[in-house]
Amino acid sequence: MNIQHLNIQAKMAITLFLGFVIVATVSSVILLGLALTGEKSGLKIPTVGQISKKYGTSMLVGSMHGSMKEFVSALEDIEVVEQWVSEGAKQEHPLYKDVETIIRYDCRNCHSRTSTMTRAIRSMPFETYEDIVLYTEAGYSWKQMSKQAHIHMYGIASFLIFVTLLFAYTTYKEWVRSALIVLSFSAGFIDIFSWWFIKEIPALAYAIYGFGSVMVGSILLMSALILLDMWKLPRPLKE
Amino acid sequence: MKKISCVLASALLAGSALYGGTGLTLESAKVKGVASLDAGDAAWASAKPIQIVVDQLPYQSEKYTGIKNTTVKMQSVYDSEYVYFKIEYADPTKSLERYPWEKQPDGTWKQLKNPDQFGKENTYYEDRVAMYWDISARGFERRGCAVACHMAENGKINGVDAGKTAGRKFTRAEGQLIDMWHSKGVRTDSVGQVDDQFVNHVADPSVNRNWGRNGDERTGGGYKDNINKEKTAPMYISSKAQPDLFWIHDADKAPFVDTFKAGDRIPAMVVSPFEGSRGDISINSTWENGVWTYVMKRALVTKHPKSAEQDVQFSDLGKAYPFAVAVFDNSQINHVYHEGSISLTFK
């Protein structure tokens, strides 16, 4: 039994499913690139430094470098916030007054409990020092990481199992099938767990970059190979 | 293989389509001779249009039923002395009735109002369009007009009691200035002008009632409320009776004599052209088939005593000038805007 023996309706269903997977994967890459680079359009490839800032620094600074970058009036303001955070994020710190001003002017219209703005984020107010300091811990907290990890891993596993099972029934060499299946799951696993520990080991930014790329690449490659194998023309008969 | 290429190409296109549109530049085209305020002027054929999606609202009014998003089409041309802007956008309703007086069944007069939770009007007001031009405001190039927008938190802005308002405009520090071109359908468009204003750093209503918002210097003219001393009825009527008149030209005003019947309405605004810096932008506005079309004209360089701090100066045609656009649909302060700024360049 291999995938080439499926009837035409099954092949159509698989093709459409893989179309969704490919679009979703490419979309997730675009979204991640935009969020990490702070750009608004196009396919942007983030740098290792941007990845490191996203996962290794505080959510406050990481967001100012990434998804909230467009709302920062002057990029040098991010350095002020970054310095304040790296020096303990205390209210008594001489830079806190500047940080408060930056947040008041650039963030608080949306980040307030009573915001009426189109993109209001009332659940994440920055109105007081106590509000702000919640987002100054470096990297993901245990709570945030547990949340991120379970959502991502359940989500990725739920479609990856279908893709890998389909790939398992292609006619490619056994070692190719085994390698890609193991690679896709393990790359995802290492990528996500690197988020957790990057604040302790900054070099894990390379692991996030590398294994994230391997995971995405393997999903796209397996999808393409399944389609190719499933729909390939029958070989001509030999004399 | 061909099928796979199609799938991959579709995937990439679908992915890219999710994130489109940014970094707009409006190129002002040089015209031969002199351009005009006529929206049908042949000069516009040479001007490349841009499309600006305005889809952000500063606050959710209980009574705002206007546009929540629309696309503003803009073009620009310039001649040796003036720069012109043509602005078009869809607005299904032409709204020019601003706080009209209406005679009541008991013979008294009442100004029609329907304020929202912030005391602001969204029913009996005028359609407007505004352009913000950076003079020296920190962050304007990155954030556009949002850099001067400050919403109230529990009745306070910047720690100052802001009353009932939803928000106020001011810049971050002294010396930071924004030029504000504010086309008001009733109050200024009616006399062929844009209200030329500016925004500075004042964040204290005891210094300026309108916080950072100011009118440019004027030497005469302007608009005023049509209200008697007792504030119980109109002060004037128009000597020219027209069915679709929502203002009274100062030159046409006549003493109010009450010969009206219940339900009759009288405009609440007496208008005349501004003199001085406040009146140095001309406009021609029309609403037809659900589309507002505005053509504005201003000198490339203005020469008033305070031009440097009140007006953007297009003195270097090799430079890019950041600006932002907002549309007001029959609302007093709620408006639809875009994030970031647009660049004006001259070619």
The 10s digit of each residue's pLDDT in B256-310 is 999 999 999 999 999 999 999 999 999 999 999 999 999 999 999 999 999 999 9
Residues of chain A with Cβ-Cβ distance to B340 below 8 Å are 40, 70
Q: Confidence class of residue A235 from pLDDT cuts 50, 70 and 90?
A: low
pLDDT at A144: 81
Contact B198, B135 (CB under 8 A): yes
Of the candidates B14, B20, B154, the beta carbon closest to that of A23 is on: B14
Q: Confidence class of residue B244 from pLDDT cuts 50, 70 and 90?
A: low
Q: How far A95 CA sits from the closest chain B CA (Å)?
A: 18
Sequence-ordered list of residues with C-beta below 8 angstroms from that of B328, at least 6 positions apart, any chain? B66, B125, B126, B127, B128, B129, B130, B334, B335, B336
Sequence-ordered list of residues with C-beta below 8 angstroms from that of A213, at least 6 positions apart, any chain? none
Task: Report d(CA B33, CA B238) in Å as an integer.
Answer: 39
Of the candidates A18, A41, A106, the beta carbon closest to that of B22 is on: A41
Of the candidates A43, A106, A114, the beta carbon closest to that of B154 is on: A114
Sequence-ordered list of residues with C-beta below 8 angstroms from that of A202, at least 6 positions apart, any chain? A52, A56
pLDDT tens readout for residues B95-125: 999 999 999 999 999 999 999 999 999 999 9
Residues of chain A with Cβ-Cβ distance to B3 below 8 Å are 227, 231
For residue A40, give Cα distances in angstroms to A83, B51, B135, B173, B207. Answer: 26, 16, 25, 29, 39
Q: How far B17 CA sits from the closest chain A CA (Å)?
A: 9
pLDDT at A232: 85
Average of per-residue pLDDT across B211-220: 96
pLDDT tens readout for residues A45-83: 888 888 888 888 898 998 998 889 889 999 999 999 999
Nearest chain A residue to B69 by CA: give it: A118
Task: Report d(CA B282, CA A214) in Å as an integer.
Answer: 60
Contact B130, B183 (CB under 8 A): yes
Verify whether the Cβ–Cβ distance A15 to B7 is below 8 Å.
Answer: yes
Mean per-residue pLDDT over chain A, rounded: 91
Verify whether the Cβ–Cβ distance B7 to A119 is below 8 Å.
Answer: no
The yes-or-no verdict on residue B318 having pLDDT over 80 is yes
Q: How far B31 CA sits from the closest chain A CA (Å)?
A: 33
Task: Report d(CA B68, CA B55) in Å as an integer.
Answer: 6
Residues of chain B with Cβ-Cβ distance to A29 below 8 Å are 15
Nearest chain A residue to B68 by CA: give it: A118
Q: Confidence class of residue A139 from pLDDT cuts 50, 70 and 90?
A: confident
Residues of chain B with Cβ-Cβ distance to A22 below 8 Å are 7-8, 11
Average of per-residue pLDDT across B187-205: 97
Integer-rounded Cα Rg, in Å, for chain A is: 23
Of the candidates A39, A101, A117, the beta carbon closest to that of B151 is on: A117
Sequence-ordered list of residues with C-beta below 8 angstroms from that of A116, at least 6 positions apart, any chain? B58, B59, B60, B151, B166
Nearest chain A residue to B13 by CA: give it: A23
- Type of residue numbered B138: R
Verify whether the Cβ–Cβ distance A108 to B1 is below 8 Å.
Answer: no
Q: Tell me what ipTM this predicted complex has.
A: 0.79
pLDDT tens readout for residues A149-192: 999 999 999 999 999 999 999 999 999 999 999 999 999 999 99
Q: Helix, strand or coil for residue B319?
A: coil
Q: Which residue has the tokens 């703005």?
A: A117
Contact B248, B269 (CB under 8 A): yes
pLDDT at A229: 94
pLDDT at B242: 65
Residues of chain A with Cβ-Cβ distance to B18 below 8 Å are 27, 30-31
Residues of chain B with Cβ-Cβ distance to A32 below 8 Å are none
Residues of chain B with Cβ-Cβ distance to A127 below 8 Å are 153
Instruction: Supply the angle between the helices A76-86 and A96-106 in degrees, to the nearest 10.
Output: 130
Give the strand pairing for B342-346 and B25-30. Answer: parallel
Instruction: Return the HEC string of B162-205.
Output: CCCCCEEECCCCCCCCEEEEEEECCCCHHHCECEEEEECCCCCC
Verify whether the Cβ–Cβ distance A116 to B59 is below 8 Å.
Answer: yes
Task: Report d(CA B87, CA B73) in Å as an integer.
Answer: 6
Kindly report the length of chain A: 239
Mean per-residue pLDDT over chain B, rounded: 91
Residues of chain B with Cβ-Cβ distance to A111 below 8 Å are none
Verify whether the Cβ–Cβ distance A109 to B150 is below 8 Å.
Answer: yes
Average of per-residue pLDDT across B300-321: 96
Verify whether the Cβ–Cβ distance A105 to B153 is below 8 Å.
Answer: no
Verify whether the Cβ–Cβ distance B14 to A27 is below 8 Å.
Answer: yes
Contact B225, B269 (CB under 8 A): yes
Find the helix or strand (DSSP H, E) in which B73 lies.
Answer: strand B70-78
